[in-house]
């Protein structure tokens, strides 16, 4: 999760801005520091969009390379991280388009769905899902569940709720309006909740079903 806060004040200059400045002057070690700082987040966001590890690796390389080539265009009026993520999101969408044999892919794709706009599954989750499934089984469930969402929902959820960007930063990063981000985020959250309910909802006598070896990823 990005913990960086870029100050716009003259007195406080964010360390990223100094690293960018040094990298612009040819200091490769400074750029490597930026890579080390953000590669995990960029990889995660790329994976959320392309849903494929090899493509995500290519996205990470291409995004950092493009960022390096465009360092002069970084104005410092946004966080370096959000600027970088914007590049990575575009690279990931291009990669997705290539995989789909040239068909246009945008973050607006399939977002008009009504799914999740009204909660249907109103069963409570009990016992705590974390107690029902082991770490790797839970990760499988979470991956499988989020993969079912349109890319435009996945990326908003990943940036806002997983990565911790603000609504405004998410909007800026994706070139969306704040209301569009809020609307997509709510629907992403509700769709995920609805889909996870299939695994986590309280059932009569289900107890620790999964840990007894009866509950796998469906």
Partner 1 sequence: MAQLDEMLDQDAAIPLRADLEEHLRECDHCEITLNTTRKTIEIYRSHELYELPDDLRDRLHRAIVAKCRKC
Q: Which of 84, 156, 192, 210 binds partner 1 (CB under 8 A)?
A: 192
Residue 5 lies near partner 1 (rule: CB under 8 A): no
Phi-psi region of 8 (alpha: psi -120 to 50; beta: other; left: phi over 0): alpha
x-or-dash string of contact with partner 1, 151-190, rule CB under 8 A: ------x---xx----x--------------x--xx--xx
CA geometry: angle 22, 24, 30, nearest 5 deg:
40
Count of residues that bind partner 1 according to CB under 8 A:
48
CA geometry: angle 96, 101, 104, nearest 5 deg:
60
Nearest to 31 by CA among 60, 65, 78, 8: 65
Please check whether residue 153 is in contact with residue 116, taking contact to mean a CB–CB distance below 8 angstroms: no
Residue 200 lies near partner 1 (rule: CB under 8 A): yes
Going by C-beta distance under 8 Å and a sequence separation of 6 or more, which residues neighbour residue 88? 42, 45, 46, 59, 60, 63
Q: Which is nearer to partner 1, 13 or 35 (CB)?
A: 35
Q: Which stretch binds partner 1 (CB under 8 A): 11-19, 82-90, 106-114, 132-140?
A: 132-140
Cβ 25 to partner 1, closest distance in Å? 14
Please check whether residue 161 is in contact with residue 185, taking contact to mean a CB–CB distance below 8 angstroms: yes
Residue 28 lies near partner 1 (rule: CB under 8 A): yes
Distance CA 135, CA 148 (A): 21
Q: Considering only residues 76-115, where is the footprint of partner 1 by CB under 8 A? A: none
Q: Which stretches of the chain bind partner 1, using CB under 8 A?
A: 28, 31-32, 35-36, 39-40, 43-44, 47-48, 56-57, 60-61, 64-65, 68-69, 117-119, 122-125, 129-130, 135, 138-139, 142-143, 146, 157, 161-162, 167, 182, 185-186, 189-190, 192-193, 196-197, 200
């Amino acid at each position: 999760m990005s913990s960086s806060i870029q100050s716009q004040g003259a007195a406080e200059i964010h360390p990223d801005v100094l690293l960018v400045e040094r990298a612009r002057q040819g200091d490769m070690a400074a750029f490597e520091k930026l890579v080390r700082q953000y590669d995990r987040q960029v990889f995660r966001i790329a994976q959320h969009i392309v849903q494929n590890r090899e493509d995500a690796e290519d996205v990470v390389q291409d995004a950092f390379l493009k960022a390096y080539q465009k360092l002069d265009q970084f104005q410092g009026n946004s966080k370096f991280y959000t600027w970088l993520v914007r590049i990575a999101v575009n690279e990931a969408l291009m990669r997705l388009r290539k995989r789909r044999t040239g068909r246009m892919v945008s973050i607006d794709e399939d977002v008009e769905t009504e799914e999740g706009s009204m909660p249907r599954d109103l069963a409570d989750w009990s016992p705590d899902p974390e107690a029902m499934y082991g770490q790797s089984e839970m990760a499988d469930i979470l991956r499988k569940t989020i993969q079912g969402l349109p890319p435009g929902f996945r990326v908003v959820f990943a940036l806002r709720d997983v990565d911790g960007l603000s609504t405004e930063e998410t909007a800026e990063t994706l070139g969306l309006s704040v209301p569009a981000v809020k609307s997509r985020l709510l629907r992403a959250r509700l769709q995920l909740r609805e889909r996870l309910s299939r695994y986590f909802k309280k059932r009569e006598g289900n107890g620790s079903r999964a840990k007894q070896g009866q509950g796998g990823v469906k």
